[in-house]
Amino acid sequence: MASLLPPRVAAAEVFGHGDEEWWGALLPAEARLMAGAGAKRRRDFAGVRVCARRALRVLGFGPVPVLPGPRGEPRWPAGVVGSMTHCAGYRAAVVARPETGLAGLGIDAEPHAPLSPDVLDMVASPAERAHVAMLADGWPRVHWGRVLFCVKEAVFKAWYPLAHTELGFLEAEVAFQVNGDGSSGGVTAEVRRPGPFTVVSGHWRVADGVIATAVVAEAAAAWKSAQPPAA
Ligand SMILES: CC(C)(COP(=O)(O)OP(=O)(O)OC[C@H]1O[C@@H](n2cnc3c(N)ncnc32)[C@H](O)[C@@H]1OP(=O)(O)O)[C@@H](O)C(=O)NCCC(=O)NCCS
């Protein structure tokens, strides 16, 4: 995950399906939230918080709970922006100080598997469907629909904590750049409604059966669309 983000972002990740060691790493307020949760949810929740605390330590924080807000967004300590993701066999968290120029961060990981055509129709615009069809001609081993979906989830995770409103799948238009072997590259997403940012950029990678994506909203580009014009 670190390789998908600028060096001013601290990242931590764990591979594997989790064990009781992660569960023991929860702080009391987090453990209370997980009382009664199923085993998978407990492993995901605990594993990603192990990552969060490792990444926060790089920024100088001691162990602090990372509790979810009303829409599931992570509530980071004051002076931190960040994002978390978990999927089968993988968990990651990234954090940064806003004074480094970052308004928001979003990451997502998904199994590298096909996305059903029905879901692609729901999440992709006609231009995006044409874009992924063209990419599939060039790099047929990549499940481009799923990579697109993964990017949009990352965009949502950058958007929501700043906007506190939902972002629809068709409100962000994604474009990929592809590196030589087709397993990684860059990505941009333009957001087509007023809000905390109009564009994010980032990177994606497919490795070991997992798609990982990360996007950043630069502070300089943030909130411009929501500001009234200067008098
Ligand atoms: C919120 C959402 C993006 C999470 O996707 P997901 O694939 O379940 O995410 P992951 O399993 O990789 O990561 C889960 C983590 O995302 C983070 N997350 C959850 N809700 C969030 C929100 N509203 N804002 C930011 N981050 C959020 C949390 O850290 C969560 O981990 P936790 O529950 O252990 O704290 C998804 O459930 C959703 O609502 N999607 C629909 C909207 C959308 O994607 N629109 C695209 C617009 S372009």
Regarding the beta carbon of 44 and ligand 1, being less than 6 Å apart is answered yes
Regarding the beta carbon of 135 and ligand 1, being less than 6 Å apart is answered no
Give the ligand 1 atom nearest the CA of 72.
Answer: 20
Q: What is the DSSP string of the chain?
A: -GGGS-TTSEEEEEESS--HHHHHT--HHHHHHHTT--HHHHHHHHHHHHHHHHHHHHTT--S---EE-TTS-EEPPTT-EEEEEEETTEEEEEEE-GGGTEEEEEEEEEES-PPPHHHHHHH--HHHHHHHHHHHHH-TTS-HHHHHHHHHHHHHHHHHHHH-S---GGGEEEEE---TTSSEEEEEEEE-SSSSBSEEEEEEEEETTEEEEEEEEEGGGBSGGGSPPP-
Task: Answer yes or no: is pLDDT of 56 > 50.
Answer: yes
CA 153 / ligand 1 centre spacing (Å): 7
Regarding the beta carbon of 43 and ligand 1, being less than 6 Å apart is answered no
Place 225 in a pLDDT band, splitting at 50, 70 and 90: very low
Regarding the beta carbon of 30 and ligand 1, being less than 6 Å apart is answered no
Per-residue pLDDT reduced to its tens digit, 129-162: 999 999 999 999 999 999 999 999 999 999 999 9
The CATH class of the 2-101 domain is alpha beta
**23-27, 86-90, 138-142: which has the minimum mean pLDDT?**
23-27
Q: Report domain extents, the chain.
A: 2-101, 107-223
